[in-house]
Amino acid sequence: MNPCIIPEVPIDIQGDNRWMSQHERHVSEAKEREPDVIMIGDSIIQKLQSSPIWNDLFEPLHCLNFGIGGDLTQGVLWRIQSGILDNIKPKACVLHVGTNNFGNTPDEISEGILTIIKEIKSKLPECYIILLDLLPRGARPNELRIRNSKVNEIIHEKVKSISRLEVITVNTGLLQSDDTLSAQDMLDYLHPTDSCYRKIFEPVHELLLQILGEAKDIDKEIIGTQ
């Protein structure tokens, strides 16, 4: 059985229960607020909330951030089944997960991502999904970059037929001509800097504006015909 598709609470190896504390906070935030947009995934999603672009562009869209650093596809699956999507009706969901599934193959990881998409669609059939390509990582070419590229290839092919879903290719322009990642873009060669977050997430914001605009038009039509 592919471990990437089995919902699982990660073992609290460090011993301070931070993963579960964050999940519990997300569930209560979901109950208290009525997000129009949610973001789900790993630290790439989570750290966006600490970047200036969050307050500039995403906070005004009634956006909740359900990113947890280090999370795997199986962790996101568990969280989706355990309360973060209950009681809410977001119009769009942004997803980035899979880069932390170290022990897994591209096939396993992409199946994990597809299972998450199915799960979101089953809980929120009207919700539009924006899937982010896995980002490149490491200053120089390495196995994990190749693995992430393969996941992206597989995913692009497999999601073609899925409605209300768009993949955004975030890795274009991040690799330099010598295939290195710049510290200007990723200080630790994994997480985007503020300027890189802007480069990556401005297209996501554009797309969200479209989706929310269309959703508003539909709402108006429904009200108009009542």
Kindly list the catalytic residues: 43, 188, 191
**Element of type H or E holding 18:** helix 18-32
CA distance 111 to 1: 11
Quick one: which of 7, 10, 83, 138 contacts its own copies (CB under 8 A)?
138
Minimum CB distance to its own copies smaller for 20 or for 159: 20
Q: Is 33 in the site for its own copies (CB under 8 A)?
A: no
Q: Is 143 in the site for its own copies (CB under 8 A)?
A: yes
Minimum CB distance to its own copies smaller for 44 or for 114: 44
Q: Is 68 in the site for its own copies (CB under 8 A)?
A: yes
Q: Which of residues 145-174 bind its own copies (CB under 8 A)?
A: 145
- Candidates 24, 70, 80, 30; CA nearest to 46 is 70
- Tell me, by CB under 8 A, how many residues bind its own copies: 30
- Candidates 57, 61, 53; CA nearest to 198 is 53
- Candidates 40, 37, 46; CA nearest to 18 is 46
Stretch that binds its own copies, among 21-29, 114-122, 164-172, 207-215 (CB under 8 A): 21-29
Minimum CB distance to its own copies smaller for 174 or for 207: 174
Query: Minimum CB separation from its own copies for residue 144, in Å?
Result: 5
Quick one: which of 3, 7, 105, 144 contacts its own copies (CB under 8 A)?
144
> Are 45 and 39 contacting, i.e. CB atoms less than 8 angstroms apart?
yes
Alpha-carbon separation of residue 168 from 49, 153, 193, 204 (angstroms): 19, 12, 19, 7
Q: Is 11 in the site for its own copies (CB under 8 A)?
A: no
- Report helix, strand or coil for 143: helix
Minimum CB distance to its own copies smaller for 6 or for 187: 187
Q: Which of residues 34-63 bind its own copies (CB under 8 A)?
A: 46, 49-50
> E-assigned strands of the chain?
37-41, 63-67, 92-96, 128-132, 165-168
Alpha-carbon separation of residue 48 from 57, 133, 214 (angstroms): 11, 16, 25
Quick one: which of 6, 9, 25, 56 contacts its own copies (CB under 8 A)?
25
**Contacts to its own copies by CB under 8 A:** 13-18, 21-22, 25, 46, 49-50, 68-69, 102, 137-140, 142-145, 183, 187-190, 193-194
